[in-house]
Amino acid sequence: MWQRYKWLLLLTVLVTTVMMAVLWKTPPPETVNKVTGEADCWTGAGANQLPVGSEDSLIRYGRELIVHTAQYLGPKGNVTQISNGMNCQNCHLEAGTKPWGNNYGAVAANYPKYRDRSGSIESIEKRVNDCIERSLNGQPLDSSSREMRALVAYLQWLGKDVPKGTSPKGSGIMQLPFLARAADPAKGAIVYISTCQRCHGSNGEGQLKKNETGYEYPPLWGPHSYNTGAGLFRLSRFAGFVKNNMPNPCNYHQPQLTDEQAWDVAAFVNSQPRPVKDTRNDWPDIRTKPFDHPFGPYADSMSEQQHKFGPWKTASTRL
């Protein structure tokens, strides 16, 4: 009798162990959010997952340049002085890995690609230099420089598992729903004073780190900020970025601002003075201009004012 039970017990233990081993080994088909049932956002690999081989040193240097751009390329940069003192990471949060934090999830999978802004096929190098010349209000890097090769190596590595031609959920900046009215700089000023000023300063000047290159709190306007050709100068880019990431730190699961506050504070900040970039050659085919590009000529009859602040008609929108 006891013998039979012993065998049964042994068998049960054996079967359970095998089943557990199989379940353990099989990866889940896709990461699915248990609450919403939706596929989770793309999140890039962090510092601890960087490859460590000697042939991977460019990838590691690339990440370092994203995080501490000013130290290498800023006004007091130790490699060259070509940019305004901001770090790529100030706008591409967590080294470009954060869901809806203007991350780089769609870069390796989509470049080179045709872009309406330049009316040409752009390489990753060209796109990086776009941000250096506009967001960092600086001078382009030579494509063959170690710094450019490192930035590209990092971006390629970070996005290597994203299927070609696809943009994973959560990459880039979220497009917020439009307001029925124009975004209002006066209402935005109230948001700025109550929610942003304590870090970004009463003149949007930000605050430099003590005894270090780079900002503790980056500037939002004035001579050291992004210029009028930068992506954030478009209200939709600014509002979508800020909604899911500011006041720092917050994320898309628990945004602190309403959509209205995000649009209004975008209108306020982008009404302040900043470096001017000649954008006359942007969007050579004016029919492809995004709805919120604030500089004419346009293919429609809306004024520059309405293109900048809205209200935008959903029918005629190009994102």
- Read off the tokens for 94: 């967590």
Query: Of these, 97, 135, 227, 244, which contacts ligand HEC (CB under 6 A)?
Result: 135
Question: 165: alpha, beta or left, given left = phi > 0 and alpha = psi -120 to 50?
Answer: left
Q: What span, in angstroms and rounded, lies between the C-alpha atoms of 11 and 9?
A: 5
How far is residue 65's CA from residue 73's CA, in Å, rounded to a whole number? Answer: 8
| Residue 97 or 102 with smaller CB distance to ligand HEC | 102
151 makes contact with ligand HEC (CB under 6 A): yes
- Total residues contacting ligand HEC by CB under 6 A comes to 45
The one segment of 5-13, 42-50, 244-252, 273-281 that binds ligand HEC by CB under 6 A: 244-252
- List CB contacts of 5: < 8 A, sequence separation 6 or more: none
Of the candidates 128, 242, 252, the residue with the CA atom closest to the CA atom of residue 196: 242
Residue with Cβ nearer ligand HEC (13 or 212): 212
Neighbour-count burial for 172-188, b at 16+ CB within 10 Å, e otherwise: bbbebebbeebbbbebb
Backbone angles phi, psi at 313, to 5 degrees: -85, 125
Does residue number 226 form part of the binding site for ligand HEC (CB under 6 A)? yes
Tell me which residues in 273-312 interact with ligand HEC (CB under 6 A): none
> Within positions 108 to 127, which residues make up the interface with ligand HEC, using CB under 6 A?
127
* Beta-strand pair 120-122/113-115: antiparallel
CB of 169 to ligand HEC, least distance (A): 13
Rule CB under 6 A: choose which of 242, 291, 307, 309 binds ligand HEC. Answer: 242
- What x-and-dash track marks residues 15-44 binding ligand HEC by CB under 6 A? ------------------------------
Interacting residues with ligand HEC (CB under 6 A): 69, 86-93, 102, 106-107, 127-128, 131-132, 135-136, 151, 155, 172-173, 191, 195-196, 198-200, 217-220, 226, 230-232, 237, 241-242, 246-248, 257, 265, 269
